[in-house]
Chains A and B, each alone.
Chain A
Amino acid sequence: MRRRSKKIFRVLRELIRIRLQNLMMFRLGFFGPFLVDGTLFAVQLMVFRAIYSNVDRIGTWKEGEMILFIGTFSLINAVSMVVCFFGLQQIPEKIKKGELDLYLTKPVNPLFRITFEKMNPGSIPLVIMSLCIIGYGIYLMEITPGAGQVLHYLFWVVVMMVLYYDMMVLIRCVCFYLVTNARLEQLEDAALDLCMKLPGIAFYGIWRIIFCLILPYGLMATLPVQCMNGEMKWQRALAGIAITAVFTGLTLFVWKNGVKHYNSAGS
């Protein structure tokens, strides 16, 4: 077990090094994303500002909670952009073109390698800006969270990051079975776009089922905020963990089964 963890750490360290060296081969390619991602984030903030300057309350949430919600969702999104987004984005292409062959023949988990192969430090400013917004949201909520509450919040952020990762992998693994997943990626974009603006507490009935159980983006920033504003009940916590566990199990199953179904591509 210890040897395995050591190997995982070493391969990860080497993947990070390789990626950084790769990015640094082109100076504009290295510094450009900092500027581009920062600008995109500023545009996103302006949109939020325009929406929430007209609405100061959604359900039981006031402006502070909504700002914390936006910051939390941005943080989950930004961390995934830094760590795994660009790697996972390539899964459909690798399946279709048979490029997965070279990953399957190496003694390291192919999903692990793909996940960390295209890390993107250009999105680090997004992480920093998200943290600033989270701080501002907490300030508006007029609370001073203790260390325990911060850890509790961070725990939920990590759990929701896992759920976010699961969804990304699941949607891309469809290419093991179908020719394309383009429509599903469009659905993912639309659901993300909606759920980044509306917290889970705004969904009722069938919409709650869709955005909490089928495309669980509605949970992602909502649960961490609820743990910060005291709305988190044990049933909700249990449901959040159960949903993440189910999606993680499903992701692992679909990936493994997909690899078994993989037919590569003609030579």
Chain B
Amino acid sequence: MNIVETQNLTKTYRRFVKPEGLSGSIRNLWKREYEEKSAVRNFDFALKEGEFIGLIGPNGAGKTTLTKMLTGIIAPTSGKISVMGFYPNDLKNEFKRQYAVVMGQKSQLFFELTTNDTMRLFKEIYELDEKEFRETKEYFTELFDVRELMDVQVRTLSLGERMKMELIVALLHNPRILFLDEPSIGLDAIASNQIRKFLKQVNQERGTTIILTSHYMEDISTLCERSVVIHHGCKVYDGRTEELFARYQKNKKITACFSREISPGESLPMAEIVEKTPHKLVFIVPKEAACAALAAIMPWNPTDIAVEEDEIGTVVERIYQEGSRYED
């Protein structure tokens, strides 16, 4: 049974086009020209309960617009949409009680007060009874290890701590679906890792369906079994995240250190040398040529060798370029 389903979902905005200069502005007083911009186009998508899915795409691809349509914040221009059997933009309270949304750039906490104070309001909004409220709060406070921060003014918390609080507040009513829009924006590596660990646990232990929008491929590759790539409002990939990365991870980076000076010369024909010092060589080769390249450097008796995957940023660039070609 699908928990989310969309068919030909489209969201079009009308935007005003202003001709250059003062004369253009004067003409515009009487006659205005508009152009239509599709933020999401003919988007077909289905999601099963309990899945953890990643939405990937460059800025302006339509990820946030899609999330806003799924949560009912904005209405689609055309197409079908069903989330837990509801049409989201009807904004029915029974619907809103069953999901939560966390937006990395918009906080739902009261900055001058403590997280406990915000939670009290949410308890009433979601009509939670005292026992259920205490148990859930206890569970997440333990899980996120933030017991001593619950009575601290929110504005004095670090960004990472604040994001944990946002997640606790959002999960307080045990939503069936959690929408996360850039939850790790601005977080350092340690905080991002912690958040990832907690999200994985929430998905596995509570069965919460999670839809994650992120620019950080680390988030997507470690958390989401399935990924959807959006480009210019269209879906360009929908499948296993592993396959997505395998498809676009084309090269290997090899770093080799030597005890004596070496001169590779013509012995590495497929390689692109990116760093060369008398005792160190760093080069990139197509992944199918990696074994041959390793065999070629072995006779020089390396003291250390490291083989790495393509940098995640390079992979992302390729995915988006592929998206552009699909558009053309």
Contact = CB atoms under 8 A, between A and B. Distances in A.
Interface of A: 7, 10-11, 13-15, 17-18, 21-22, 25-26, 98-99, 101-102, 104-108, 259-260, 262-264, 266-267
Tell me which of A13, A264, A267 has the highest count of chain B C-beta atoms within 10 A of its own C-beta.
A267
B89 interface: yes
A267 B112 contact: no
A106 B73 contact: no
A105 B127 CA distance: 15
Given A99-B106, A262-B74, A18 B121 contact: yes
A260 B77 CA distance: 11
A107 B126 contact: yes
Contacts of B307: none
- B: interface residue count bin: 35 or more
B73 A262 contact: yes
B105 A21 contact: no
A120 B99 CA distance: 32
Contact of B124 (A7, A259, A260): A7
Nearest to B89: A260
B120 interface: yes
Nearest to A108: B125
B74 A105 contact: no
Interface in B155-169: none
Nearest to B96: A107
Contacts of A7: 124, 127
Interface in B105-127: 105-106, 108, 110, 112-113, 117-118, 120-121, 123-127
A13 B75 CA distance: 32
22 contacts: A10-B124, A11-B121, A14-B121, A14-B124, A15-B121, A17-B120, A18-B113, A21-B117, A22-B110, A25-B153, A26-B112, A99-B106, A101-B73, A102-B106, A104-B72, A105-B99, A106-B96, A106-B125, A107-B126, A108-B125, A260-B89, A262-B74
B64 A267 contact: yes
B113 A22 contact: yes
B96 A259 contact: no
B73 A105 contact: yes
Nearest first, the 6 closest Cβ-Cβ pairs linking A and B are A107-B93, A267-B64, A107-B96, A10-B124, A14-B121, A107-B97
A106 to B, nearest CB: 6
A10 B91 CA distance: 21
B175 to A, nearest CB: 11
A96 to B, nearest CB: 14
B231 to A, nearest CB: 16
Nearest to B155: A25
Contact of B106 (A10, A13, A22, A101): A101
Contacts of B93: 107-108
B65 to A, nearest CB: 9
B139 interface: no
Contacts of B121: 11, 14-15, 18
Nearest to B71: A105
Contacts of A21: 113, 117
A104 B181 contact: no
B326 interface: no
Nearest to A97: B106
Contacts of B123: 14
B110 A107 contact: no
A32 to B, nearest CB: 16
Given A107-B96, A259-B91, A260-B75, 8 more contacts: A11-B125, A14-B124, A25-B113, A101-B106, A104-B91, A262-B74, A263-B13, A263-B74
A234 to B, nearest CB: 40
Tell me which of B72, B94, B113 has the highest count of chain A C-beta atoms within 10 A of its own C-beta.
B113
Interface string B134-154: 000000000000000000010
A21 B120 CA distance: 12
